[in-house]
Structure 1
């Protein structure tokens, strides 16, 4: 009992996905599937992971 609303929502979403017309960008989909990206990679390899923990290091020089 109590599954009625959830099932109705799933049915509504499934029906919407089935019958709604989509403007699909197939080029973007192909790039995504092949691992290519439109975005500029903002990560740098020079960032040291230990830097964020440097305040917690016990320095005994």
Structure 2
């Protein structure tokens, strides 16, 4: 007893997923799955970890 409400909700969600139309950007999906190397390298280099101000100066 008591499973009726949960099952009804699961059925509603499953039906919504099955029949809803999706606007999928396959280009963005491909970039996410395969990795856009040029974009990832620039993002990593632009990120500041906040500790560069405390780094010791180089002794060249």
Coarse TM-score class (shorter-chain normalised): 0.5 to 0.7
How many corresponding residue pairs?
A: 49
Instruction: Please list, as runs of the form range in 1=range in 2, the aligned pairs for 1:28-47 lying within 5 A after superposition.
Output: 28-36=28-36, 40-41=43-44, 43-44=47-48, 47=51
Higher relative contact order (CA 8 A, sep 6+): 1
1:31 shift after superposition: 1.4
Q: Unaligned regions of 5+ residues in structure 1, if any?
A: 48-61
State TM-score, norm by structure 1.
0.55
State TM-score, norm by structure 2.
0.56
Q: Does 1:10 align with 2:16?
A: no
